[in-house]
Amino acid sequence: MTRWWSPAGLAVLASACAGAGAQSSPAAQPAPAAAPASTDTTSVDRPQYVSTYRRRANPPVLIRNATVLTAAGQEISNASVLFRDGKIVAVGANLTAPSDAMIVDGSGKFVTPGIIDTHSHLGVYAAPGTQAESDGNEATNPVTAEVWAEHSIWPQDPQIPLAVAGGVTVMQVLPGSANLIGGRSATVRLVPARTVQEMKFPGAPYGVKFACGENPKRVYQNRGPSTRMGNMAGYRAAFIQAEQYRQRWDKWLKDRKGDAPGRDLRTETLAGVLRGEISVQNHCYRADEMAQMLDLAKEFGFKIRSFHHGIEAYKVADLLAANGTAASIWSDWGGFKMEAFDPILENAALVTKAGARAVIHTDSPDGIQRMNQDMAKAYYAGVRAGIPLTRDQGIKWITANPAWVLGLDAWTGTLEAGKMADVVLWSGDPFSVYSKAEKVWNEGWLVFDRLDPTHQYKTDFNIGQAAPGVGR
Binding residues vs other proteins (CB under 8 A): 108, 110, 127-130, 158-159, 162, 314-318, 330-333, 335-338, 341-346, 350, 354, 364-367, 369-370, 373, 376-377, 379-380, 384-385, 427-429, 431-436, 461-462, 465-467, 470-472
**Are the C-beta atoms of 302 and 5 separated by less than 8 Å?**
no
Which CB sits closer to other proteins, 45 or 214?
214
Residue ranges of alpha helices (H) inside 41-198 are: 159-164
Which CB sits closer to other proteins, 451 or 466?
466
Nearest distance in Å: CB 378, other proteins: 9
Which CB sits closer to other proteins, 36 or 468?
468
Nearest distance in Å: CB 343, other proteins: 7
Nearest distance in Å: CB 355, other proteins: 11
Nearest distance in Å: CB 225, other proteins: 20
Query: How far, in Å, CA of 286 to CA of 213, rounded?
Result: 8
- CA-nearest of 449, 361, 429 to 177 is 361
Nearest distance in Å: CB 366, other proteins: 6
Which CB sits closer to other proteins, 27 or 219?
219
Nearest distance in Å: CB 123, other proteins: 13
- Identify any residues that bridge with 105 across adjacent strands, giving them in sequence order: 64
Residue count of the chain: 472
- CA-nearest of 422, 448, 456 to 55 is 422
Q: Mapping DSSP to helix (H, G, I), strand (E, B) and coil, where does residue 129 land?
A: coil
Half-sphere exposure of 77 toward its Cβ, with a 13 Å CA cutoff?
Answer: 1
Query: How far, in Å, CA of 173 to CA of 184, rounded?
Result: 9
- CA-nearest of 264, 280, 152, 307 to 205 is 280
Nearest distance in Å: CB 342, other proteins: 6
DSSP string, 324-382: T-EEEE-SS---SSGGG----TTHHHHHHHTTPPEEE--SSTTGGGGHHHHHHHHHHHH
Which CB sits closer to other proteins, 277 or 312?
312
Q: Mapping DSSP to helix (H, G, I), strand (E, B) and coil, where does residue 442 land?
A: strand
Sheet holding 326-329, edge to edge: 181-184, 207-211, 279-283, 304-308, 326-329, 358-360
Q: Is 284 left (phi over 0), alpha (psi -120 to 50) or beta?
A: beta
Q: Say which amino acid occupies 326.
A: A
Query: How far, in Å, CA of 329 to CA of 315, rounded?
Result: 13
Which CB sits closer to other proteins, 19 or 108?
108
Which CB sits closer to other proteins, 267 or 373?
373
Which CB sits closer to other proteins, 85 or 452?
452
Nearest distance in Å: CB 440, other proteins: 16
Nearest distance in Å: CB 32, other proteins: 38
Give the β-pairing of 61-69 and 102-105: parallel
Which CB sits closer to other proteins, 234 or 365?
365
DSSP string, 235-277: HHHHHHHHHHHHHHHHHHHHH--SSPPPP-HHHHHHHHHHTTS
Which CB sits closer to other proteins, 271 or 351?
351
Which CB sits closer to other proteins, 19 or 324?
324
Nearest distance in Å: CB 470, other proteins: 4
**Are the C-beta atoms of 65 and 425 separated by less than 8 Å?**
no
Nearest distance in Å: CB 384, other proteins: 6
Which CB sits closer to other proteins, 252 or 333?
333
Query: How far, in Å, CA of 435 to CA of 426, rounded?
Result: 6
Nearest distance in Å: CB 109, other proteins: 9
